[in-house]
A and B are shown apart, each in its own frame.
Chain A
Amino acid sequence: MSNMRNRVSILDKPLNKSRSDVSISLFGLLFSEIVQYCQNRVYTIPELQTKLSELGFHVGQRVLDLLFVREKNYKRETKLLNILLFVKSSVWKTLFGKEADKLEQANDDDKTYYLIEKEPLVTKFISVPKDRGSLNCASFVAGIIEAILIGCNFPAKVTAHWYKGTTFMIKFEESVIVRDKAMENR
Chain B
Amino acid sequence: MSRQAVRSTDPKKVSSELFTLTYGSLVAQMLKDYESDEEVNKQLDRMGYNIGLRLIEDFLARTNVGRCYDFRDTAEKLQMAFKMYLGISPSITNWSAAGDEFSLILESNPLTEFVELPDSHVNLKYSNIIPGVIRGALEMVQTEVVACFVHDQLKGDSTSELRVKFVRRLEDAIPAGED
Query: Do the two chains bind?
Result: yes
Known A10-B114, A24-B14, A55-B22; further 8 A-B contacts with Cβ < 8 A: A22-B86, A23-B86, A37-B26, A37-B30, A41-B33, A58-B21, A59-B24, A62-B21
B residues in contact with A27, CB < 8 Å = 14, 18-19, 22
B residues in contact with A93, CB < 8 Å = 8
- The answer, yes or no, to whether A128 is at the interface (CB within 8 Å) is no
Mark the stretch among A82-90, A94-102, A105-113, A153-161 that contacts chain B. A94-102
A residues in contact with B54, CB < 8 Å = 29
Top 9 A-B pairs, shortest CB-CB distance: A20-B87, A5-B156, A21-B13, A58-B25, A97-B9, A10-B116, A7-B156, A23-B85, A59-B21
In the complex where A10-B115, A20-B86 touch, is A98 in contact with B15 (Cβ < 8 A)? no
In the complex where A55-B26, A63-B21, A98-B6 touch, is A26 in contact with B86 (Cβ < 8 A)? yes
Q: Closest residue of chain B to A67, judged by CB?
A: B17
B16 and A20 contact, CB distance less than 8 A: yes
Jot down 9 A-B pairs with beta carbons below 8 A, ordered by A: A7-B156, A22-B16, A29-B54, A30-B129, A55-B22, A59-B22, A66-B17, A95-B15, A97-B14
A22 and B156 contact, CB distance less than 8 A: no
For chain B, residues 136 to 173, give those with C-beta under 8 angstroms from any C-beta of chain A. Answer: 155-156
Partner of B16 from A21, A34, A37 at Cβ < 8 Å: A21
- The answer, yes or no, to whether B78 is at the interface (CB within 8 Å) is no
- The answer, yes or no, to whether A73 is at the interface (CB within 8 Å) is no
- The answer, yes or no, to whether B123 is at the interface (CB within 8 Å) is no
A residues in contact with B25, CB < 8 Å = 55-56, 58-59
How far, in whole Å, are A110 and B179 apart by their CA atoms in the complex? Answer: 65
In the complex where A21-B16, A30-B51 touch, is A97 in contact with B29 (Cβ < 8 A)? no
How far, in whole Å, are A19 and B86 apart by their CA atoms in the complex? Answer: 11
B residues in contact with A31, CB < 8 Å = 22
For chain A, residues 1 to 46, give those with C-beta under 8 angstroms from any C-beta of chain B. Answer: 5-7, 9-10, 17-27, 29-31, 33-34, 37, 41
What 1/0 flags go to B1-13 for Cβ under 8 Å of A? 1010011111111
